[in-house]
Amino acid sequence: MTTENLYGLLGVERGASADDLKKAWRRAALIHHPDKGGDPEIFKRIQEAYTVLSDPGARAEYDATGRVRRGDDAPPPPQDISEILGSLFGGVGGGGFPIPMFGFGGGGAGAGGGGRPAKGPNKVHEIGVPLADLWAGKTFKLNMKREVLCGRCDGRGGTRMENCGGCGGRGFRIRRQQMGPMVMMAQEGCGECRGAGQRVLERCEGCGGRRVVERETTLDVRIEPGMQEGDRIVFPGACSESPDFATPGDVILVIRAATADAGTWVRHGADLTLELTVTLAESLLGWERQLEGHPSGTALHLVWTGGVVRDGELLRVPGWGMPVRDGGAKGDLRLICRVATADQPEWNEEQRRALESVWLDWRAPVAADRSHRPIRG
């Protein structure tokens, strides 16, 4: 520690009394203690600042030269959160019961310090993928624009800076509220400097004070065979950088089935479903089909000689569904048969007698006097 503003770390003025220093240290240490989710690095700097300023000799040297030394008889700051709580509140309040402290939200210090959240928000994009690519897999490059911290000013927005007067260079403020015997404290980012802790005296020419510049970036996207609707491809930290966050968020691509496949080959997990129309004669005697457009790119030659097929009956072709991700196996092709009768010819008497000989339990309808006869159309 050589040039850091020790008074600013504790949130006190340069002329603060020893008692004010001790109270400020206890408050700051409680907020930033790692046991309360604080940043260990900030906590360490607060402890070191109090060690120097609580030593009259080291403090006088720091005030005169800006340099610090550690006094041998400086009181070691407590490390346990319960010890800090006990020293801050004297164990109990005036009524003989503990005085609690509430509320440490409002933008607590994350991994980046200064009250910045640890990670920026993620960006989610949906991409339409044809079944053929989900069958065989595919790799491609996705070009996108991304903001990165300006290299000239290290994301500060200026080449000459000064500590923010609103927060003393800490990037955050402590808000306290007395509620009877209770004290509510909350840490919130400084609105004057947006948590940066500094103000710009000379704007950076590289970014025009924006603190970030735009760059082209490329993501290598890999569609794995067997991926399904809703699967995600995550690119950690690929979002734009921001001075407001310690690390950028992730870019997440969500798989959606391309609309070109809708209504034809329908996917259910690892199975594919296709409706197949057959004539009445084919449903009775058998059929043969050449299916084009399978996601594998292979034409399927299908032959059925297994007997009568009823309307809506389901037939399976094992192994001709979709790949199972990371498994190597494949699902089945499920054929839903639809029997079309609209274009069937009228049967002559000989054909009718042949049909009657097949269905021996069929009996010709007998017209009664009060029967109603339907008509076509």
Q: What is the mean pLDDT of the chain?
A: 79
Within 10 Å of residue 133's Cβ, how many Cβ atoms? Answer: 18
pLDDT at residue 138 greater than cutoff 70: yes
pLDDT at residue 162 greater than cutoff 90: no
Confidence class for position 164, pLDDT limits 50, 70, 90: confident
pLDDT digits (tens, 9 = 90+) for 171-209: 778 777 766 667 677 777 777 777 777 788 888 988 988
Q: Is residue 117 part of a domain?
A: no
Q: Which residues contact 290 (CB under 8 A, 6 or more apart)?
A: 299, 300, 301, 302
Distance CA 375, CA 361 (A): 25
Higher pLDDT, 109 or 141: 141
Distance CA 315, CA 32 (A): 67
* Domain that includes residue 248, residue range: 123-259
Verify that 131 and 242 share a domain, yes or no. Answer: yes
pLDDT digits (tens, 9 = 90+) for 29-82: 877 777 766 778 888 888 888 888 888 878 877 777 776 654 444 444 444 444
Distance CA 359, CA 362 (A): 6
Verify that 199 and 175 share a domain, yes or no. Answer: yes
Report how many domains make up the chain.
3
Verify that 252 and 268 share a domain, yes or no. Answer: no
Q: Is residue 108 part of a domain?
A: no
Closest of 224, 218, 38, 34 to residue 114, by C-alpha: 38
User: Of 40-54, 99-113, 124-138, 329-343, which range is least confident?
Assistant: 99-113
Q: What is the pLDDT of residue 123?
A: 92
pLDDT at residue 355 greater than cutoff 70: yes
Q: What is the pLDDT of residue 71?
A: 44
Alpha helices, H only, the chain: 6-10, 18-32, 40-53, 56-65, 81-89, 131-136, 280-285, 349-358
Verify that 172 and 255 share a domain, yes or no. Answer: yes
Q: What percent of the chain has a predicted confidence (pLDDT) above 70? A: 80
Distance CA 238, CA 147 (A): 10
Verify that 231 and 209 share a domain, yes or no. Answer: yes
Verify that 168 and 296 share a domain, yes or no. Answer: no
pLDDT at residue 111 greater than cutoff 50: no
pLDDT digits (tens, 9 = 90+) for 5-23: 888 888 888 888 888 888 8
Q: Is residue 240 part of a domain?
A: yes
Verify that 270 and 244 share a domain, yes or no. Answer: no
Q: What is the pLDDT of residue 105?
A: 36
Maximum C-alpha span of the chain: 126
Within 10 Å of residue 23's Cβ, how many Cβ atoms? Answer: 15
Verify that 304 and 225 share a domain, yes or no. Answer: no
Verify that 274 and 353 share a domain, yes or no. Answer: yes
Q: Is residue 346 part of a domain?
A: yes
Q: Is residue 334 part of a domain?
A: yes
Q: Is residue 376 part of a domain?
A: no
Q: What is the pLDDT of residue 251?
A: 94
pLDDT at residue 322 greater than cutoff 90: yes
Distance CA 55, CA 9 (A): 16
Domain with residue 75: its CATH number is: 1.10.287.110
Domain with residue 324: its CATH number is: 2.60.260.20
Residue with tokens 């007395």: 178
Q: Is residue 366 part of a domain?
A: no
Average pLDDT over residues 204-229: 92
pLDDT at residue 334 greater than cutoff 60: yes
Verify that 34 and 84 share a domain, yes or no. Answer: yes
